[in-house]
């Protein structure tokens, strides 16, 4: 890992710190509930983050390539720091809505810019392994932010929680100052415009990779959003699933990505996606801790390398001038899969039950994978 480019490692560390700030806001419903907000108001405020992040991506990712990844990353961090602190000084639903929209924009800008910076500072031979390491930096923040954030809320109160959250973006800002835009002096940015984003994603190679990403994120979103309530219906707890998921994905991304050669890499991704979707089909059979462990290992191991490998295939060796938009498209399709399709399958689960919902989600992903395989062949 430490043989990789120093600027890549700094970009990865900055991303990890930013994600701690981001993930700590999973506790925001506690703060809103403490202010006696209604459940639907809490849902709107939490959902507005993802919606703004997705729909602003074509604009924000174009700005990243046009004006520089480091500059936009710094702006995004200032926005995240400011909005994290401002929650402590208001009780207005409309103010909170504006803050969440700005946080969504901040996430869209920073994650895309830091991903592009990390990729731009990797040699071609290191990109697959490097991006696997980079994406592992998004896993444990989901534990650190909420876990220690909850401790601070209980013992010190919400003001200190918002300060705690903002500190990580301040640290990310200090680190990001030491990273530059790679070959930025050789880029021609004057002709970059908004329409170029849609030309990039409409390319046949990009399209198949983005569809693959959408299918995998659909399965990811369905499981992550519904596993806790599904296991609760069976008198089981979801904690063990999230622990195994975090450990398994991190191990795969840090240590096992090099086992897969570049040859026929997309077909290997499709095989992983087929196994991943199959695991979801049998999700409803879980009725004991042993079954949770087995499912967690299969689900996590088949999903772990899909996202970094798709990223590696999407962002080629000469993509520095448009890497911001490519990562923007990648993260936008991920967001659509997680948020939009979770709504769709949540409605199916509501009408029928978990068993039907999980099976339809599995078949949907498997069918899409099969069609991609036929087209590739």
Please say whether the beta carbons of 224 and 50 come within 8 A. no
The answer to whether residue 191 sits within a structural domain is no
Three-state DSSP class for residue 122: coil
DSSP string, 56-90: THHHHHHHHHHH-HHHHHHHHHHHHHHHHHHGGG-
Are 140 and 242 part of one and the same domain? no
Are 82 and 214 part of one and the same domain? no
Q: CB atoms < 10 A from the CB of 154, how many?
A: 10
Are 200 and 153 part of one and the same domain? no
Final residue before a domain boundary, out of 180, 207, 242 = 180
Are 377 and 321 part of one and the same domain? yes
Per-residue confidence (pLDDT) for residue 184, from 0 to 100: 47
The answer to whether residue 142 sits within a structural domain is yes
Long-range contacts of 236-239 (CB under 8 A, 24+ apart): 236/286, 236/287, 236/288, 236/289, 236/292
The answer to whether residue 244 sits within a structural domain is yes
Are 220 and 131 part of one and the same domain? no
What's the CATH number where 272 sits? 1.20.1250.20
Per-residue confidence (pLDDT) for residue 4, from 0 to 100: 67
Three-state DSSP class for residue 4: coil
Per-residue confidence (pLDDT) for residue 186, from 0 to 100: 44
Per-residue confidence (pLDDT) for residue 187, from 0 to 100: 46
Per-residue confidence (pLDDT) for residue 26, from 0 to 100: 82
Are 343 and 213 part of one and the same domain? yes
The answer to whether residue 190 sits within a structural domain is no
Residue (of 105, 108, 115) closest to 16 by Cα position: 115
Domain span including residue 231? 196-377
The answer to whether residue 189 sits within a structural domain is no
Rounded distance between C-alpha atoms, residue 232 and residue 55, angstroms: 33
Q: How many domains does the chain have?
A: 2
Are 116 and 80 part of one and the same domain? yes
Final residue before a domain boundary, out of 153, 180, 207 = 180
Are 167 and 219 part of one and the same domain? no
The answer to whether residue 149 sits within a structural domain is yes
Are 160 and 200 part of one and the same domain? no
Are 218 and 114 part of one and the same domain? no
Rounded distance between C-alpha atoms, residue 357 and residue 362, angstroms: 9
The answer to whether residue 186 sits within a structural domain is no
The whole-model pTM stands at 0.79
Can you give the C-alpha Rg of the chain in angstroms? Answer: 20
Final residue before a domain boundary, out of 152, 180, 208 = 180
CB within 8 A of 311, min separation 6: which ones?
115, 119, 131, 135, 327, 330
Are 153 and 213 part of one and the same domain? no
Are 158 and 243 part of one and the same domain? no
Q: Which residues of the chain have pLDDT under 70?
A: 1-4, 181-197, 199-201, 316-321
């Amino acid at each position: 890992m430490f043989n990789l480019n120093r600027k890549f490692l700094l970009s990865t560390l900055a991303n990890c710190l930013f994600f701690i700030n981001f993930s700590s806001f999973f506790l925001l419903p506690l703060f809103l509930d403490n202010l006696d907000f209604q459940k639907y108001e809490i849902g709107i405020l939490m959902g507005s983050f993802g919606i703004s992040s997705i729909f602003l991506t074509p604009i924000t990712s174009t700005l990243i390539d046009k004006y520089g990844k480091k500059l936009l990353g710094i702006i995004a961090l200032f926005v995240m720091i400011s909005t994290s602190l401002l929650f402590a000084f208001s009780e207005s639903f409309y103010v909170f809505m504006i803050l969440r929209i700005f946080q969504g924009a901040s996430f869209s800008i920073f994650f895309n810019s830091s991903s592009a910076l990390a990729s731009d500072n990797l040699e071609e031979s290191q990109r697959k392994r490097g991006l696997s390491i980079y994406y592992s930096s998004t896993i444990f923040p989901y534990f650190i932010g909420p876990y220690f954030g909850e401790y601070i809320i209980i013992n010190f109160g919400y003001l200190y929680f918002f300060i705690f959250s903002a500190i990580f973006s301040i640290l990310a800002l200090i680190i990001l100052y030491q990273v530059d835009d790679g070959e930025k002096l050789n880029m021609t940015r004057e002709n970059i415009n908004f329409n170029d984003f849609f030309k990039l994603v409409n390319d046949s190679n990009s399209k198949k990779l983005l569809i693959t990403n959408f299918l995998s994120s659909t399965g990811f979103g369905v499981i992550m959003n519904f596993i806790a309530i599904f296991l609760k219906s069976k008198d089981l707890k979801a904690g063990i699933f999230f622990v195994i998921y975090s450990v398994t994905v991190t191990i795969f991304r840090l240590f096992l990505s090099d086992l897969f050669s570049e040859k026929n890499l997309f077909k290997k991704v499709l095989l992983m996606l087929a196994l991943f979707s199959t695991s979801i089909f049998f999700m409803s059979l879980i009725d004991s801790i042993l079954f949770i462990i087995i499912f967690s290992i299969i689900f996590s191991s088949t999903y772990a390398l899909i996202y970094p490998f798709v990223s590696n295939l999407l962002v080629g060796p000469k993509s520095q001038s448009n890497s911001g938009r490519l990562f923007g498209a990648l993260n936008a399709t991920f967001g659509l899969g997680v948020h939009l399709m979770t709504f769709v399958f949540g409605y199916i689960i509501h009408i029928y039950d978990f068993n039907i919902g999980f099976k339809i989600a599995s078949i949907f992903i498997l069918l899409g994978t099969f069609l991609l395989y036929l087209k590739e062949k």
